[in-house]
Structure 1
Amino acid sequence: MKRLACHVLALMTLAAPTLAAEDLTVGFAIAKSGWMEAYDTPAATAAMIRIEEINAAGGLLGRQIKVVEADTRTDRAESAKAGLDVLDHGAEMMVVSCDYDFGAPAALVAEGEGINSFFLCAEDVKAGIQGVGPNSFSSSVLASVQGATMAEWAHARRNARTAYVLEDTFIEYNKGICTGFNWMFPQLDGAGIVGSDTFKNDDASIASQITRIKALPEQPDVIMLCSVMPGAAAAVRQLRAAGITSLILNGSAVDGSYWLEATPDLSGFVVPVQGSIYGDDPRAEVEMFNKAYEAKTGGRPASQYAYPGYVLIDLWAKAVERAGTVDGAAVTAELEKMQDEPTAFGPRSFSSELHHQNTALMQIIEITGGKPARVDEWRISEPVPLDVLMGR
């Protein structure tokens, strides 16, 4: 009887079908409606491109990556609900909105479950350890790094020695750009900030600020404009209309040509970006991505904000493979070991203190005669310190 039972068991074992590994589920709790959709959709599309590449190459840990999505509607309360929704659908990692304020509620849901979250393109230091917890990351480049890059590049390449800082108080991102510039520029040989001012993004006029700039003994070499659309375009138009010819610097948020009709024949406007959308990036991988994005959507990326979505999936997948699991703490440990980890858009690093980029190789885009083009690249000489990032 015992031998018969063993024989039957053996036959059952041979006859049992081999079960395929279950899909690995990534949840996207992002804005599919509201104003944040313009930022989230390109980055999410880029993330999907990398997921498709990984699946085509055999998947992750022998599992295909499946995506579930929920709409935050660009609403903080809905963000938390979206996080819960994708968890209910089996999410083992969560991708959240580009902006800290709108992505954090969903990321906090992920943190409560001990799973990793990645902000699509957030550039506020709080979008990570400082504002969410130890399993939260962003692959994008901090706003303060963008400001510091503009300071050091303008000093070295355009002989800038005097600067006027004009800060739009609309969102924390703008403050971050100015923080980085204000930290770096005065450290540079012979450089100084000769004045500063603020304005609101929806101000119809910045005439009083322009009056104060024109009252200076000499026009500043550069104006550090820390702003986003639509206020940035309005400010640039008014500065040039007033006859101010200083080189105008800004952050990555104003990358793209979509707004240039508002400032005809603009020249002398410079921004740092993670990669060029204009077909002139020196890295072949960047243009390969631009073409893949065009094939998927029918158009090239409108700005550099698609790129961090691709990078975040790439880095997370590498960490998962090295950890051999999707467990949040194990993946976090592998991510924190990454120092100058190669990606298509430049090296990325994380540490146990910072889950953001406090230095990065940036491509420099300058607008001349209304046409943007890559003119240089720059990596700041030292990382932005954590106390500066935290505004201490």
Structure 2
Amino acid sequence: MTPPLLKLAALWGAAVLTASLHTGAQAQAKDLVVGFATAKSGWLEAYDTPATNAALIRIDEINAAGGIGGRKIKTVFADNKTDRAQSAKAGLQLIDQGADMVVVSCDYDFGSPAALAAEKAGKVSMFLCAEDAKAGIQGVGKLSFTGSIMAAVQGATVAEWAHAKRNARAMYVLLDTMIEYNKGICKGFDWMAGRLPGVTIAGRDTFKNDDASIAAQITRIKALPKEPDAIMLCSYAPGGASAVRQIRAAGIQSLILNGSAMDGTYWLGAVPGLSNFVVPVQGSIYGDDPNPKVEEFNKAFEKKYGARPSSMYVYPGYILMDLWAKGVERAKSADGKAVVAEMEKMNKEPTIFGPRTFSNKLHIQDSVPLLISEIKNGKPGIVDKWTISTPVPLDVALKK
């Protein structure tokens, strides 16, 4: 017969165990929290908001399917105001609100302060669409990733494609020195151009995105013995659009190459009837993507937000949320280190925008299949698909 005190202790222990199990079940079912430390004001808002909206579509899909391991995703937001100091504050604010993962701005310079706050707290951070190799292990730390690809991959892709498909041999490099993204494009272009037979760099020059005029640079291009086969313009709008307008107004008809930042039609009003302008893209916003799932996404985006995506920089937001969710599902946890360990196993992981790979050395793509979008008579469209013949080396991506 059990003594009364022992019986009481046993009953007490059973109650504690039951309460503990109940609490554990509640903790397991607790919502996952994704925080967005992104720009809702300033020039970066034009990139951050569309990519954030794409991420929210993937979150809606995940929640509609029951969440991740039964846990729904809750979102919290903080405006970094396209300001580095505000970015750090936004990251800390979201950590205080219980964020399991922090999504940060498209640009490395403005997203990294928030990402560093997440890194210090042991949380995964993911840049919406940063394309600097430092948006990951080499810049922020082991818990940081980006949903996009190296800028250097874009420059290398258009260099190799133009050489193979447009017989471009004499090339001119025009670098906008305003942000690191532009330097990355040109670095990748230079690296690939140096590997291609018969290619010569006819000249190179620089400008800044807010320069009202590039007349001096155009004079130097026109002074060449022969018009270049291609001009590698490493820039973004509005300065990139202004540069294109001035180049064409000066009568220069060379093929103009650029990175993905100038995908879209939003800037074409500055250069009516533009032709012979090429950018690499991760997917087509124009309804002509060879993968029908991309157009399905475009229509879903339009249904939810009232307009189709304005550039391919929408897509990395969807990609990053898809990949992080898979990492959490496979880790059976939102713990930063556990999720990273699973994400680093991803090798050509399928997404609707193509395969993605991470490793314990690189949290950004150094080679992916890209579509080639060309503007003809003011209208963009997909004309080809290209994968660089060899991945971009890390030292090239880091601009060493």
TM bin, normalised by shorter chain, reads over 0.9
Q: Give the deviation of 1:61 after TM superposition.
A: 2.1
Q: Residue 350 of structure 1 aligns with which residue?
A: 358
Alignment of 1:128-147 (within 5 A): 128-147=136-155
Q: Residue 266 of structure 1 aligns with which residue?
A: 274
Q: Give the deviation of 1:89 after TM superposition.
A: 1.0
Q: Give the deviation of 1:360 after TM superposition.
A: 1.1
For 1:384, what is the secondary structure of its paired residue? coil
Q: Residue 379 of structure 1 aligns with which residue?
A: 387
Distance 2:313 2:238 in 1: 17
Q: Residue 343 of structure 2 aligns with which residue?
A: 335
Distance 2:349 2:31 in 1: 27
Q: Residue 69 of structure 2 aligns with which residue?
A: 61
Q: Residue 308 of structure 2 aligns with which residue?
A: 300
For 2:345, what is the secondary structure of its paired residue? coil
Corresponding position: 1:102 with 2:102: no
Q: Residue 362 of structure 1 aligns with which residue?
A: 370
Q: Which residue identity does 2:126 align to in structure 1? A: F
Corresponding position: 1:27 with 2:35: yes
Distance 2:13 2:224 in 1: 91
User: Unmatched 5+ residue regions in structure 1?
Assistant: none
Cα offsets for 1:214-259 (capped at 9, x unmatched): 1111111100000111111111111111111110000100111011
For 2:328, what is the secondary structure of its paired residue? helix
Q: Give the deviation of 1:37 after TM superposition.
A: 1.1
Count residues with an aligned counterpart.
391
Q: Residue 200 of structure 1 aligns with which residue?
A: 208
**How has the CA–CA distance of structure 1 residues 172 and 4 changed in structure 2, closer, same or farther, with 3 Å as cutoff?**
closer
Distance 2:161 2:202 in 1: 18
Distance 1:3 1:183 in 2: 78
For 2:29, what is the secondary structure of its paired residue? coil
Q: Which residue identity does 2:348 align to in structure 1? A: D
**How has the CA–CA distance of structure 1 residues 5 and 389 changed in structure 2, closer, same or farther, with 3 Å as cutoff?**
closer
Distance 2:236 2:14 in 1: 68
For 2:228, what is the secondary structure of its paired residue? coil
Distance 1:187 1:161 in 2: 12
Q: Residue 322 of structure 1 aligns with which residue?
A: 330
Same amino acid, percent of matched pairs? 67
Corresponding position: 1:180 with 2:206: no
For 1:366, what is the secondary structure of its paired residue? strand
Alignment check: 8 A CA contact 1:59 1:65 kept? yes
Q: Residue 246 of structure 2 aligns with which residue?
A: 238
Q: Residue 52 of structure 2 aligns with which residue?
A: 44
Alignment check: 8 A CA contact 1:139 1:348 kept? no
Q: Which residue identity does 2:362 align to in structure 1? A: L
Distance 1:306 1:61 in 2: 27
Cα offsets for 1:279-330 (capped at 9, x unmatched): 0001111111101111110000000111000000111111111111111111
Distance 1:291 1:6 in 2: 61
Distance 1:126 1:117 in 2: 13
Distance 2:121 2:69 in 1: 21
User: Unmatched 5+ residue regions in structure 2?
Assistant: none
Distance 1:271 1:243 in 2: 21
Distance 1:202 1:5 in 2: 76
Alignment check: 8 A CA contact 1:175 1:226 kept? yes
Please, which of 197, 208, 214 is the counterpart of residue 189 of structure 1? 197
Q: Residue 284 of structure 1 aligns with which residue?
A: 292
Corresponding position: 1:124 with 2:132: yes
Q: Give the deviation of 1:7 after TM superposition.
A: 8.0
Structure 1: which 4+ aligned runs deviate by more than 2 Å?
1-14, 16-20
Q: Give the deviation of 1:9 after TM superposition.
A: 8.9
Q: Give the deviation of 1:45 after TM superposition.
A: 0.5
For 1:187, what is the secondary structure of its paired residue? coil
**How has the CA–CA distance of structure 1 residues 8 and 117 changed in structure 2, closer, same or farther, with 3 Å as cutoff?**
closer
Alignment of 1:79-118 (within 5 A): 79-118=87-126
Corresponding position: 1:254 with 2:262: yes
Distance 1:108 1:83 in 2: 8
**How has the CA–CA distance of structure 1 residues 361 and 6 changed in structure 2, closer, same or farther, with 3 Å as cutoff?**
same
Q: Give the deviation of 1:11 after TM superposition.
A: 9.8
Distance 2:328 2:334 in 1: 6
Distance 2:260 2:140 in 1: 24
Alignment of 1:164-175 (within 5 A): 164-175=172-183
- Coordinate RMSD, CA, aligned: 1.9
Q: Give the deviation of 1:186 after TM superposition.
A: 2.2
Q: Residue 217 of structure 1 aligns with which residue?
A: 225
Alignment check: 8 A CA contact 1:337 1:351 kept? yes
Q: When the two structures are superposed, what TM-score results if normalisation uses the length of structure 2?
A: 0.94
Q: Which residue identity does 2:271 align to in structure 1? A: T
**How has the CA–CA distance of structure 1 residues 11 and 93 changed in structure 2, closer, same or farther, with 3 Å as cutoff?**
closer
For 2:74, what is the secondary structure of its paired residue? strand
Distance 1:235 1:390 in 2: 26
Q: When the two structures are superposed, what TM-score results if normalisation uses the length of structure 1?
A: 0.96
Q: Residue 158 of structure 1 aligns with which residue?
A: 166
